[in-house]
Amino acid sequence: MARAGGSALIAEHAGWRLDAAVGRWLELRDRRVAAAEPPRKPRLPGPAHQPGSAVVLAARGLVLERMGRRLAEPIDLVVREGEVVVVNGPNGAGKTTLARAVAGARSTAGAIRRTGRVGLMLPDATIQLLQNSVLGELASLCRDRKVVARVLRRHRLEALAARAPWSLSRGERQRLVHAALDVTQPSLLIVDEPAQGLDPEDLVAFVDLVHRRAAKGRAYLLISHRQELAAAAHRRLVLDCGRLEEAGR
């Protein structure tokens, strides 16, 4: 486009992925636009704790299908208490189908054993928000005001408590859904595309929160096409070419 004399304005949180194609950077912060340096890829820390031995999810011979078409060979998957597992793979590989299947939101052939409550966080947070305010969203799931207040602080939502969910940014809505699931205290939280809508600072904060909750025993299954999330996990799996396989971080 540039060679033909055209121009493009691209709005993107993960700007470092476009560095080679961009001629000038601008940053929108505090309602102001200013010249900026090329963004750096965030450095995500790995978990400081070791997962437990108790199994919270065991799937055997799981069959992933979409519109009658089989997406992968039968899948075996085990997730343990306090473990952070990332599943990478290209678009269309079946990652979202896998997330819904292991959460119980999609019927599938195969055996699945879950221990405790399982939460599922979808890429489009809007469809999971039902109340008229941030506070109302959490209060509808938990009557203990002290717990609700603690979760608001944990997810940096105190200043947004009176806001309507639809008025929040994409990243703020994602934090709210994470908080809503957090307040229900699941033993396993499945997050489909957790980096979507998050700027680098919010992504680092999300990973820090995941590690803190995982250190207390919660397991996380993070589904993403973004490979940089692998650095934040105990294990990395790749779903591609019809197979789910262990891969290096």
pLDDT tens digit sequence for 109-150: 778 899 999 999 988 888 889 999 999 999 999 999 999 999
125: number of Cβ within 10 Å: 22
Q: Which of 3.40.50.300, 3.40.50.700, 3.40.50.720, 3.30.420.40 is the CATH number of 55-247?
A: 3.40.50.300
For residues 220 and 168, what is the distance between their CA atoms, to the nearest angstrom?
25
**Element containing residue 87 per DSSP (H, E):** strand 84-88
Q: What is the phi/psi pair of residue 120, to 5°?
A: -125, 125
> CA 231, 227, 53 angle in degrees (round to 5)?
50
For residues 64 and 206, what is the distance between their CA atoms, to the nearest angstrom?
29
pTM: 0.84
pLDDT at 184 over 80: yes
Per-residue confidence (pLDDT) for residue 241, from 0 to 100: 80
Q: Is 7 left (phi over 0), alpha (psi -120 to 50) or beta?
A: beta
pLDDT at 30 over 70: no
Every domain of the chain and the residues it spans: 2-35, 55-247
Whether the CB-CB separation of 119 and 82 falls below 8 Å is answered with: no
Helix ranges (H only) for 9-123 are: 95-103
Q: Which of 50-64, 72-86, 97-111, 193-207 has the lowest mean pLDDT?
A: 97-111
> CA 53, 81, 57 angle in degrees (round to 5)?
95
Look at 112 and 9; give whichever has higher pLDDT.
112
